[in-house]
């Protein structure tokens, strides 16, 4: 080190970060890492508020390929400043450099939650898009479970989910949906298990944090998020998962939430807390502004005395307390578990809405999940589902069930793909017309309400969607048709066995958006055609669906002039209106008859 630099560093606390950073850069470049670290530590002791220096020093270490040093530095600083955007963003970038794309993706997501400026949001969203390209997810089903396989680092993650365990969490979720205060906005779930409850409450519009003591649970909780977020370009809900060792001090340091959920899946969680269990529950109740829900699982050995902590908790809660009401038993499971609720305050009557809205009720809520009538659902072709409607998938399923040995060559699906081969949006919707409906005759133009960010296809193109084919029309190969039949039967079998349970499967909801005409609506299905065909054939009258976050959630005819492709002049008002009402007037029966399929 030069005498000039050494002299400048005698009064290090008076130096500007850029001056110190330049010196650190030279020291690291000269392989004098120990000296650089000493100078950095001196500066930070003198100016502990200067996080800027940490960023600069971390960048120097990363550029010098001293990744382990940079990692330790940033992790130590993050412990002092949890949730700091710059620290999270740099740690994510470091994992990206190391090729650990799954961890990088998780950290970028956490940074996204802390991005409070437009510049930071653009920066982190660009980074997320880049990392997503390096991660793939696959789902494998077995008789009693399914596995999510994530590839994005040196060791792929294989996350296994047991159906029985998922259904147990769903049972609690269904009760919570009936009793949660819809006026609440924030929810904290302790012992979130596989994330079924946290994830679905976030879909209903609550801001949710899920926490668990076991790292394995937080990883399982994140598995579903990866499957969906890797497929979607946008995110609609607010959800995060963290590890928390629920000691008394840790609970006291938690931020207050409208709703606190303590839902451990095993009685062992309470037993391990011992004498602290009652105090922990008391402290958690203090953190709930509106409601506190807690679940007491069945004891592993009934009558053995192991449920002593539970008896103590209930006795403590039954005592008269001015700050909250006695616990109300909401539900008992077949195994002997019990779900309780303590009310602290409720929303005003005017704020109360159903957590699970139905039909157009969803337009007045924060929820992205809601129920629709099956008879009001339509496919891209305008085909309906259920009794009285026609859909090529539903027809193929019905045929397979009546003829177990049916081959694709002899199926109605083969005949459909052979007879329905439109060359444009106009042919797809309206068939042959005496006069063209501009611009529908010009290939696969966008629907009038679609955003232009979706690629417009020309007349010679037809979109290829899954496994080398298009499930909505032909021509398709026999290999693709055989694949569709197998997938249809597998989906039907799964739903018939377990019911339609979108909450417990990755990307399990049928997705799409609403077409609204006053008090009437149609639900346009753009994901989940196989599931929709299965529930239609099984006789469902209503089905739970979710808005697809990549599309406008509600297309209202009264806003026709503001639809993107009308506003930009591509569609005349009359043609856009005709396309819209096609989905209200048709249900597939006329098309099937015209094609000679019924």
What is the structure's pLDDT at 236? Answer: 60
Query: How far is 112 from 518, CA to CA, in rounded Å?
Result: 38
Q: Show the low-confidence residues of the chain (pLDDT under 70).
A: 1-16, 46, 48, 232-236, 300-311, 318-324, 346-353, 452-467
Query: How far is 340 from 361, CA to CA, in rounded Å?
Result: 29
Query: How far is 109 from 211, CA to CA, in rounded Å?
Result: 16
Count each helix (H run) and each strand (E run) in the chain, helices first: 23, 16
ω before 475 within 30° of 0 (cis)? yes
pLDDT tens sequence across 441-454: 988 889 999 986 54
What is the structure's pLDDT at 303? Answer: 45
First-last CA distance in the chain: 89
Torsion over CA: 482, 485, 488, 489 (sign):
negative
pLDDT tens sequence across 277-296: 888 998 999 999 999 999 99
Burial class (CB in 10 A: 0-12, 13-18, 19+), 19: middle
Domains and CATH numbers, the chain: 3-132 (1.25.40.10), 145-351 (3.40.50.150), 359-594 (no CATH)
Is the distance from CB of 497 to CB of 490 less than 8 angstroms? no
What is the structure's pLDDT at 12? Answer: 63
Q: Give the tokens for residue 143.
A: 């008789």
What is the structure's pLDDT at 575? Answer: 97
Beta-carbon contacts of 165 under 8 Å, excluding residues fewer than 6 positions away, are 193, 194, 265
Query: How far is 537 from 401, CA to CA, in rounded Å?
Result: 11
pLDDT tens sequence across 405-437: 999 999 999 999 999 999 999 999 999 887 899
Among the listed residues 547, 69, 595, 229, the one whose alpha carbon sits nearest the alpha carbon of residue 381: 595
Q: Give the tokens for residue 448.
A: 């009038």
Among the listed residues 584, 583, 488, the one whose alpha carbon sits nearest the alpha carbon of residue 536: 488
Beta-carbon contacts of 360 under 8 Å, excluding residues fewer than 6 positions away, are 514, 516, 519, 521
Is the distance from CB of 333 to CB of 167 less than 8 angstroms? no
Taking CA atoms, 390 is separated from 382, 533, 586, 597, in Å, by 10, 10, 10, 10
Beta-carbon contacts of 458 under 8 Å, excluding residues fewer than 6 positions away, are 442, 443, 444
């Amino acid at each position: 080190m030069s005498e000039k630099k050494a002299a400048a560093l005698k009064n290090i606390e008076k130096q500007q970060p850029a001056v110190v950073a330049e010196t650190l850069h030279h020291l690291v470049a000269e392989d004098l890492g120990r000296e650089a670290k000493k100078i950095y530590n001196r500066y930070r002791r003198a100016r502990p508020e200067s996080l800027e220096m940490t960023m600069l020093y971390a960048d120097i270490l990363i550029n010098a390929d001293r990744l382990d040093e940079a990692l330790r530095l940033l992790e130590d600083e993050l412990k002092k400043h949890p949730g700091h955007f710059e620290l999270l963003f740099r740690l994510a970038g470091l994992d990206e450099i190391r090729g650990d794309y799954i961890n990088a993706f998780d950290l970028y997501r956490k940074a996204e939650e802390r991005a409070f400026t437009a510049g930071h949001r653009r920066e982190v969203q660009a980074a997320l898009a880049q990392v997503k390209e390096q991660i793939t997810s696959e789902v494998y089903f077995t008789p009693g479970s399914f596995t999510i396989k994530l590839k994005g680092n040196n060791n792929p993650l294989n996350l296994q989910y047991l159906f029985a365990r998922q259904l147990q969490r769903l049972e609690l979720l269904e009760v919570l949906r009936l009793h949660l205060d819809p006026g609440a906005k924030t929810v904290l779930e302790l012992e979130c298990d596989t994330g079924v409850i946290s994830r679905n409450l976030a879909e209903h519009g609550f801001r949710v944090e899920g926490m668990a003591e076991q790292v394995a649970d937080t990883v399982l909780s994140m598995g579903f998020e990866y499957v969906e977020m890797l497929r979607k370009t946008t995110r609609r809900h607010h959800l995060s998962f963290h590890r928390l060792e629920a000691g008394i001090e840790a609970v006291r340091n938690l931020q207050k939430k409208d709703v606190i959920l303590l839902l451990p899946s095993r009685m062992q969680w309470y037993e391990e807390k011992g004498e602290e269990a009652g105090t922990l529950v008391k402290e958690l109740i203090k953190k709930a502004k509106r409601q506190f829900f807690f679940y007491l699982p069945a004891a592993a050995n009934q009558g053995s005395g192991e449920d002593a902590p539970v008896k103590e908790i209930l006795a403590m809660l039954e005592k008269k307390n001015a700050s909250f009401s006695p616990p109300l038993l909401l539900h008992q499971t077949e195994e002997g578990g019990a779900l309780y609720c303590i009310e602290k305050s409720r929303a005003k009557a005017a704020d109360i809405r159903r957590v699970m809205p139905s039909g157009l009720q969803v337009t007045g809520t924060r929820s992205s999940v809601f129920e629709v009538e099956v008879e009001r659902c339509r496919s891209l072709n305008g085909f309906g589902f259920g009794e009285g409607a026609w859909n090529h998938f539903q027809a193929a399923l019905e045929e397979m069930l009546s003829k177990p040995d049916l081959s694709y060559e002899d199926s109605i699906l083969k005949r459909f793909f052979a007879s329905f081969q439109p060359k444009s949006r106009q042919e797809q919707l309206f068939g042959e017309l005496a006069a063209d409906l501009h611009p529908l005759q010009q290939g696969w133009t966008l629907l009038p309400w679609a955003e232009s960010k979706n690629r417009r296809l020309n007349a010679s193109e037809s979109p290829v969607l899954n496994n080398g084919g298009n499930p909505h029309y032909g021509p398709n190969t026999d290999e693709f048709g055989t694949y569709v039949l197998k997938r249809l039967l597998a989906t039907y079998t799964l739903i018939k066995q377990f019911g339609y349970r979108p909450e417990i499967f990755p990307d399990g909801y049928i997705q799409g958006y609403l077409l609204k005409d006053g008090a009437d609506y149609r639900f346009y299905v753009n994901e989940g055609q196989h599931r929709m065909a299965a529930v239609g054939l099984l006789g469902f009258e209503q089905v739970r669906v979710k808005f697809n976050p990549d599309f406008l959630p509600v297309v209202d005819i009264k806003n026709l002039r503001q639809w993107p492709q009308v506003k930009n002049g591509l569609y005349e008002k009359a043609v856009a209106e005709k396309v819209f009402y096609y989905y209200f007037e048709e249900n597939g029966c006329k098309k099937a008859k015209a094609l000679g399929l019924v």
